[in-house]
Amino acid sequence: MDQPWMSPRFREIYLETVLPGGLILFAILHDCMRGLTFPKPLRVLSRRIYSPFRNFLTLEDVMDPAVKVELRGLATTKARVLSGLAFFMSASWLSCLAYAIFLKDINYSIRSFITLITWGYIASITTIKPPTSPPYIYIFFASYHVLVSTLEFGIDALDSRVGVNLLLLDTTRMIIPIIFIWVGGMFPLQPVRFATNIARPDDVPSVALSCPEDDVTLWSWSTFSFVEPIFCLSQRRTLNDEDVWSLSPFFRHDNIFNKCLEYRDAHPTHSLLRFLLVSNSLDLILDVTLELWSTIVGFVPPYALKEILSALSNDSPNTKHTTYIWAIITFLAHLSFAQVDLFKRWHSRRCYERTRGQLFCSLHHKSLRRQDMGGHAGQAGDERKSADLGKIVNLMQGDSYAVAQRFWDFSDFFTSPIRLMIALVFLYQVLGWSALSGVVVILVAYALNFPLAKYNISITRSSWKAKDARMGVVNELLQNIRFLKFYGWENHWASKAQRSRDAELQWRIKENIVDTAISFIWTWIPSATALTSFLCYTLIAGERLTVSKAFTSIALFSQLQEPMTALPGQFFAMLHAYVSMQRIEEFLDEREVPEWASSLTGSTPAGSDGEFGISNATFEWPSPSGTLDGFKLGPINIVFPKGKLTLVSGPTGSGKSALLSALLGEMHCIEGQVFINKMNHRIAYCGQTPWLEHATIRDNIVFGCAYGFDENRYQTVIDACALLRDFEVLDAADLTEIGERGITLSGGQRARVALARAMYSEAEYILLDDPLSAVDMHTAQHIVSKCLKGDLVRGRTVILITHHISLCLPMSSYLVELSHGEVLHQGTIEELQQFGLLQNVIAREDEPPIQVQDPQTPDNEADGDGVDVRVSKKLGSGKLVDAESRAEGRVSWRTYITYIRATGFFSWFLTVVLMLLIRFINIGNQVFLARWGEAYSGEERSLVIHHLILTLPPYPWTSLPSPDIDVKPWLMIYLYISVTGAFAVLFYIALGYYASLQASRSLFISLLRRLTRAPARFFDITPIGRILNRFTTDMNTIDGALQDSARKCLSGTLNFVASFTVILIVIPTFAPFAIFIAWLYIRLAPPYIRTSRDLRRLESVSLSPAFAGYDELLRGISHIRAFGMENRYQNGFYAKVDKFQSFDHVYWLVNGWLRWRYNCLGSVVVFSATMFALWKGVTNGSTAIVIVQAGIFAEASRQLVKVAAQLELDFNSVERIVEYLDVPQEAPAIVEKYRPPAYWPSSVGGLEIENLSVQYAPHLPPVLRNISFAVKPSEKIGIVGRTGSGKSTLALSLLRMIEASSGRIIIDGIDIAKLGLEVLRTSITIISQDVSLFSGTIRSNLDPLDEHSTRECIEVMERCHLTKLLKHTSMAHQDTLLDMPITQGSLSAGERQLVAIARAILRRTNIIIMDEATSQIDSQLDDQIQRTIREELSGAIVLTIAHRLKTIMDYDRVLVLGDGEILEFGKPKALLETPNGAFRDMCRRSSDWALLADLVDGE
């Protein structure tokens, strides 16, 4: 016992007297100070000092005031047991004191007296004030008492002079404190049970219960045993949503973000980063503190290895005792790592979850407040252009994770340098100044690393921009996939998306090259430092490299490897997070709407005095850079009469919609003021382009109204909005689910549902943006008579944009006419009439009404290019979108094979070969070092070397001279081994990046192509957010984590087998114990794997809804703000993120459960292997190898199941992508043997339909039934029929959007079923009411394939009156109007329709399908456009789906459909003259009957 701390005097004075006395003195001071009241300055100072150590969320923040707090009982049985045990220990030490006094042993008397006082104080305090939570100080004291008693027991047991009686006394001293510790740990951590739904140990896991970590005892918390109920459930069946605990109130996002908002209000100048640091200060401090323990105590095992090997090299009598003592110390150190790691990971994980949640909520909250930049089209490459959906999704699922990850790994950045310094000091003690040569190598590595790091940051910035651009293109492709299929452009857009992906991967290649260089440097640094240090130590210093020094040095170099490898990675990650933080803060700094325009701020404009209007104000659309450009509105000075109807009119592009946007605060006010109060849902808004939620029709109409669903009011509203007949046609009536972008409904139906939402609301002010343009005149008259006068609008201020002036005039009191963004005329109806201005306005703008002859609720004639309503949902259920499917059980082999095929089979073959080579080199390196160290003393060959090379050719060192004589050959062999290992590692790293890149490229292309070729029906029933989740979260996993997980799993398997084999070769008798330990590892794995797999899949599925609504939010943000529904959407976001976070949170709890047990088992493995090696008496080298390999075995065993489970979880992303690789596919784009002539279809070719039947699915009834008709060349055909008659289905059949069940469609002599879809669709043009525009220029929208000259494009724009309407002025990068940047929201609805018409005319196809192509254009411009269409399309076949019968009365023939059959087909005049004819009946019931008859008679 040559160690000073093992001497009896040291133990008696310091370990057994001074330290216990200090502990109890601290406890007494702590208890006394808690009862004292200090002066206010001291209390303030104390709060400031201790504020970082307080939890950001307190019990007061999370407790529901309505819930009665359940107090713990004070006089509990456990408290009495603690008191009894303490009294017993006091009595025991009192007897020891008496015995020591009797023996006159002063030291023992002092020790007994102090211990007596200590236990007496504990007994008294626990009796007077029974604890309600664990008495940590007393438990710590008892633990220290047990530790000292254990040490005494061990020393006494090794001392042959000590008798049994003393050993029994030592045992007794341990047992009672152990019982005390156990009972103390049974107290709950929380002093109060603050919620009634916290799960108890005997509760079956349920979403109705909060996570049990809020009501656990110290011991269940220290072992995470509180999660075991979920293992029991997962053993019985697959876990579902309702089987997982909900989040703790301390993790719920509403609580977290409300504290964030409070902090911002209190400290408006503090940055987001400062807030994140302040809010997580306690977790960060604990994280660093606990990591420091692992850092410092982590050097105990290598020091113990040095002492063990040094002791074995001496033949002293105490050798065995010393080695066993150090083995036990190592064992205790490893156990402490397990416990510390559990607590550290929980606190760092909480920090991560809170940080990520705060970023998520901040981004969503900002999206609700930021100015809608949809009307601004930035220049290509604009650094500060407004964030689109793709960028916001990347901010959510990329940048937020990158920033949060730095908080998770916060401590590593600070402890790595400490670990580095300790290792270097330790190495200096072992190798002397030779260790400094290793420091030189490290400094050289850092010098090489700096330029690489700098370059890496610039690459990262560019890579994120490329990822944003790729997501933008993919998002536009998916959002507009139906339109792109109409025009046959989906492959072109898919190629564009693929090019953007290639550009992103080019940056990844550069990043991988840099990362390969950096990883190689830091992976080989331990070997290089070892080589350099050994060279200096042996060759220059001439010292002996003994087994003890060699393996201790190797252990220390391994300790060096982690911080050296981690520091650059942490530095880069910190810089990457800095870039991500900049991107997030850039988004959070984007311009916001005024405070009065958002209900989140709860303010009203100053000086409004209850008025509603605009005072001397000028508005412009803002750009992201803060400059103002584009259309200007104003100066405007209007006060709208309260409780009255105001009409707003003006030509297309005059600023009518902009006026409503200005009123809502969506346009930037340059000067002047807006008077409006949006608080308490006083505003309702119906936009020109209807925006509807992905919900049922009823939910859209009610829209979170304060008084909920009122049956009487609801029925009145749907009758007034002419929706009754539509509900009769829809199988589920108003419970029909509306798909994304309102895909279930036609254009007119969407407009009337949006109108019904505005009218149903409790709003005082109603803003309506031309809702009458989407309906026929009869329906318009019904809406005006029922909706705009009567009880629904009594006392409400209504502003109506319309061209139906004379129709609305009787119930109007005020009129505003706009022109070029300015008010041309305004005033009351009487004033305008008095000055003779009213008739001029009506003459310019009005669409004249016809007297309503039939007062019944009109038929709905509006039927757009959406899915036919009859079949757009499951019959009788109204359900359109199914719940996202979730795989069960193990990941299929097909998924693994798909990924391996994507990376390349040869890549994996080389990976396995390199792994085997690296393992062989590592083991050979250890064997060589063992032989080198033993060669100094001339020991016999160690068993391990003997057995390893028994059947091999002569090994390299057989004929080497003794290293005492010539060490150079030994150094050269070590150099060869190191260099070979270095190149193997280099190739291994590079191959990994290459394989990952191949998989990323291959799977992305496969996914993109399969989805591009999927039928339109797939996109109707699959939310875009769900698809985007594959392109973001799942693709990010494949890009980054998956390859690493797969290689770690394979590496762990090889490490496990190799280390197990080496240990068994050296110590065959260890086999039974090793097998038993391995069985324990495997025994713990299945419940974890099953549970974690289910949780990860649930998380993946729940992640889609959390972000799927983002597109809907961004498209409808002006509507949401108008209705004052921001809080509703923010709360909905909280609920969605809470749900997905609950699965993630519980996953990491079960991960901690397994990790703690595996860490403890690993400690047992290392301890038992060491004890076996010492017991068997193998050589020093063999003992060193066994200890090293035992550590590798324990780590491999621990990592293997965890990494295997993580691998399966990561492969869930591949599984979800493979699921979409199986989606149904459309017919080929091109069929080579059926390519039509270039002129097809010619102007002399007709259209023939023979016995055509169409059904949307095999189990659904036909929508078209054996229809047959023929269209002559250049003929104009009108198609009419009631909703559900099959009009839209016929149009979709011509484009083969829906394949015919039977029959044929022949165009210009060719059966279109034989043609490729791209050939067919590029030969037919459809112009619909809903127009799709893409981010780019007008030219890229008119001619995306670049098939036409600039002159042709400009001419067609002039013919469509776009040049004078858009008023383009030449500027930088915009030489012509074609170069003008546009987006989906940068043009008015009428302007968008003009662009669509120009696009159709430019295509010059000989078959045109029109569907209300001019519904949003004023009547004067409409007449001009109709003339242009007749002239330009005179030689083409035109099929018009008629919403307004008067638009087709001059057509050649009219096709009347009813219930999927042809009712009539003939000339309009002949059909009108047919008695009881369907067309005649339809016209007679129309409000335009007189006009229709006159039109036909006038032919």
Judged against a pLDDT cut of 70, whether residue 63 lies above it is answered with yes
Judged against a pLDDT cut of 60, whether residue 592 lies above it is answered with yes
CB atoms within 10 A of CB 976: 12
pLDDT-derived band at 701, boundaries 50, 70, 90 = very high
Between residues 872 and 1212, the one the model is more confident about: 1212
| String of DSSP letters for 203-224 | SPP-TTSB-GGGS-BHHHHHHT
Q: Which regions of 714-871 does DSSP assign to beta strands (E)? A: 765-769, 797-801, 814-819, 822-828
pLDDT single digits (tens) 1142-1161: 999 999 999 889 889 988 88
Q: Which regions of 1180-1246 does DSSP assign to beta strands (E)? A: none
pLDDT single digits (tens) 119-149: 888 888 888 888 888 888 888 888 888 877 7
Between residues 881 and 332, the one the model is more confident about: 332
When computed from its CA atoms, the radius of gyration of the chain, rounded to whole angstroms, is 40
pLDDT single digits (tens) 15-40: 667 777 777 777 777 777 766 677 77
By percentage, how much of the chain surpasses pLDDT 90?
A: 17
pLDDT single digits (tens) 1213-1262: 888 899 899 898 998 888 888 888 888 888 888 999 999 999 877 777 88
For residues 766 and 771, give the distance between their C-alpha atoms in angstroms, rounded to a whole number.
12
**How buried is residue 1443: exposed, middle or buried, by Cβ count under 10 Å (0-12/13-18/19+)?**
buried
Q: What is the mean pLDDT of residues 273-299?
A: 90
Judged against a pLDDT cut of 50, whether residue 1403 lies above it is answered with yes
The SS3 of residue 762 is: coil
Judged against a pLDDT cut of 50, whether residue 841 lies above it is answered with yes
For residue 1380, the one-letter residue type is M
| Strand 1310-1311, strand 683-686: pairing | unpaired
Instruction: Give 1357-1364's long-range contacts (Cβ < 8 A, gap of 24+).
Output: 1357/1398, 1359/1398, 1359/1401, 1359/1428, 1359/1432, 1360/1394, 1360/1395, 1360/1397, 1360/1398, 1360/1401, 1360/1425, 1360/1428, 1361/1394, 1361/1421, 1361/1424, 1361/1425, 1361/1428, 1362/1338, 1362/1391, 1362/1394, 1362/1395, 1362/1398
Across 399-408, 529-538, 621-630, least confident range: 621-630
Supply the pLDDT for residue 873: 39
- The top-scoring range by mean pLDDT among 107-111, 634-638, 770-774, 963-967 is 634-638
- Contact between 363 and 265 (Cβ < 8 Å): no
Supply the pLDDT for residue 10: 61
For residues 1391 and 815, give the distance between their C-alpha atoms in angstroms, rounded to a whole number.
23
Nearest CA to 555 out of 986, 1166, 83, 1241 is that of 1166
Between residues 695 and 1488, the one the model is more confident about: 695
Q: What is the mean pLDDT of residues 636-640?
A: 91
Between residues 915 and 963, the one the model is more confident about: 915
**How buried is residue 1420: exposed, middle or buried, by Cβ count under 10 Å (0-12/13-18/19+)?**
middle
Across 1097-1106, 1160-1169, 1350-1359, least confident range: 1097-1106
Q: What is the mean pLDDT of residues 558-575?
A: 71
Q: What is the mean pLDDT of residues 377-385?
A: 50
Mean pLDDT of all residues belonging to the chain? 81
Supply the pLDDT for residue 605: 65
The SS3 of residue 670 is: strand
Judged against a pLDDT cut of 50, whether residue 201 lies above it is answered with yes
pLDDT single digits (tens) 851-883: 444 444 444 443 333 334 333 334 455 566 666
- Core vs surface per residue 1444-1465: b (16+ CB within 10 A) or e: bbbbbbebbbbbbbbebebbbb
Q: Which helix (H) or strand (E) holds 164?
A: helix 164-184
Nearest CA to 1028 out of 322, 658, 481 is that of 481
Supply the pLDDT for residue 1002: 92
Across 156-165, 166-175, 418-427, 824-833, least confident range: 156-165
Between residues 302 and 1282, the one the model is more confident about: 302
Chain mean position to CA 1049: 25
Supply the pLDDT for residue 495: 92
For residue 911, the one-letter residue type is T
Supply the pLDDT for residue 950: 42
Q: What is the mean pLDDT of residues 1013-1018?
A: 88
Q: How far is CA 1055 from CA 1060, 1075, 1200, in A?
A: 8, 16, 9
By percentage, how much of the chain surpasses pLDDT 70?
A: 86
pLDDT single digits (tens) 1321-1354: 999 999 887 788 888 888 888 888 888 888 888 8
Q: What is the mean pLDDT of residues 53-74?
A: 67
For residues 299 and 562, give the distance between their C-alpha atoms in angstroms, rounded to a whole number.
13
Q: What is the mean pLDDT of residues 1091-1109?
A: 81
pLDDT single digits (tens) 213-253: 988 989 999 999 999 999 999 988 889 889 999 999 999 99
Supply the pLDDT for residue 74: 44
pTM exceeds cut of 0.85 = no
